[in-house]
Structure 1
Amino acid sequence: MNEAEVNKKIQQMVHFIRQEAEEKANEIAIVAEEEFNIYKLQLVEAEKTKICAEYDRKERLVVQRKKIEHSTHLNAQRLRYLHAVEDLLRRIRDAAERQLATISNQQGPYAKFLEALIIQGLLRLKEPAALIRCRKEDLHLVETVIESACEIYASKANVALPKVAVDDKLFLPGPPQQGVHGSTCLGGLVVTTRDGRIVLNNTLDARLQIVFKQQLPEVRKRLLSGDPAPLSHSPPQ
């Protein structure tokens, strides 16, 4: 084999090796491209998942914040409503107290009222002796009606005249006065047994408290409905 044939063989071998290398390189490039695309797709999907998770988290936070804001708003509205209702109830009670405070200014009707309170107290106690406590300014009126009250009670209960005394040492608080703070009494009296074990509070303040407590659900209902119709109730017996 001469030199030309040797060179030809060498060129053929070089060409074959180069072709093999190029084909192998192409295969490697294709695999690498496929792997790169797969990895890129994985990265994209991972980022999409991460973004979606972050979006869901932020959406939940927004929804939660809105719920909290809504609840806070409702609570604030409820508190404002309750404060308004309580303020209105206080003004209603204040108006009732001012009106009741005028009862004792009418001597004749107030004396009959005190007499009725004594009779009622005696009928409840049903004791042969009792003690009456009143305001200092009402002492004279109570003393003027106590005898007739005892007679009426004895007649109604069909018993002997009870021994009823008026406490002229310890009095109930006086009527409300503007600028003066402390315990007050709108009027009425307290009837007790001589030993003080049974106490019947027949003051106007106690009666107002009973009526107000009884009518409070109805008052609240009227405030909600805006119904101006007058309340109906029976006086405490």
Structure 2
Amino acid sequence: MEYYEKKEKQIEQQKKIQMSNLMNQARLKVLKARDDMISGFYQLLEPKVSIRCRKQDLALVQKNIPIYQASVKNNIEARIDQDNFLSPEISGGIEIYNADGKIKVSNTLESRLDLMAQQMMPEIRVALFGANQNRKFLD
């Protein structure tokens, strides 16, 4: 009986450890999403910015603007462009424009995937066609 009680306690401890790990992973995902949004703002560093997001993400973006403003510690005016929302067909993210709209930082899932595709192009080329003996640089 002692053996089974000991095993039962071990299993219970393992379950608690697993739950703790899952909760930590969930917290890290939330912090990562918030950090990604704030890093899009940091790339622009303009005193006035305009934000475009999907209509269904409007509340989330509004909630996170004060967090960004507090972290930058400058008087930054961030306005959500409610006349021009991003397409609801994209997976999510935001686009940030400076005051006159000439500078754009795209932080959408699609733009990140495009960037990854460009970075992985040499690896894809080698996987599809094999190594090219005439290439000096693998860019």
TM-score by length of 2: 0.65
Residues 30-109 of structure 1: pairs in structure 2 closer than 5 A: 109=29
Aligned to 2:85: 171
Residues 54-203 of structure 1: pairs in structure 2 closer than 5 A: 109=29, 113=33, 115-154=34-73, 160-174=74-88, 184-203=89-108
Offset at 1:112?
5.3
Percent identity of equivalent pairs: 33
Determine the C-alpha separation between the residues in 1 that align with 2:36 and 2:75. 17
Determine the C-alpha separation between the residues in 1 that align with 2:113 and 2:103. 21
User: How big is each residue's C-alpha offset from its partner over 1:18-59, in whole Å with a ceiling of 9 and x where there is no partner?
Assistant: xxxxxxxxxxxxxxxxxxxxxxxxxxxxxxxxxxxxxxxxxx
Higher percent of residues as strand: 2
1:171 partner SS: coil
Bigger Rg, which one: 1
Higher RCO, Cα 8 Å, sep 6+: 2
Query: Taking structure 1 as reference, are residues 111 and 152 closer, same or farther at Cα in structure 2, changes over 3 Å only?
Result: same
Match of 2:112, as an amino acid?
A: R
Runs of 5+ consecutive residues of structure 2 not aligned to the other structure:
1-25, 131-139
Higher percent of residues as helix: 1
Moved over 3 A (4+): 108-112
CA contact (8 A) 1:134 1:171 kept: yes
Determine the C-alpha separation between the residues in 2 that align with 1:211 and 1:109. 20
Determine the C-alpha separation between the residues in 2 that align with 1:123 and 1:163. 14
Aligned CA RMSD, in angstroms, stands at: 2.3
Runs of 5+ consecutive residues of structure 1 not aligned to the other structure:
1-105, 155-159, 175-183, 226-237
Aligned length: 104
Matched, 1:207 2:121: no
Match of 1:129, as an amino acid?
A: K
CA contact (8 A) 1:151 1:161 kept: no
Offset at 1:190?
0.1
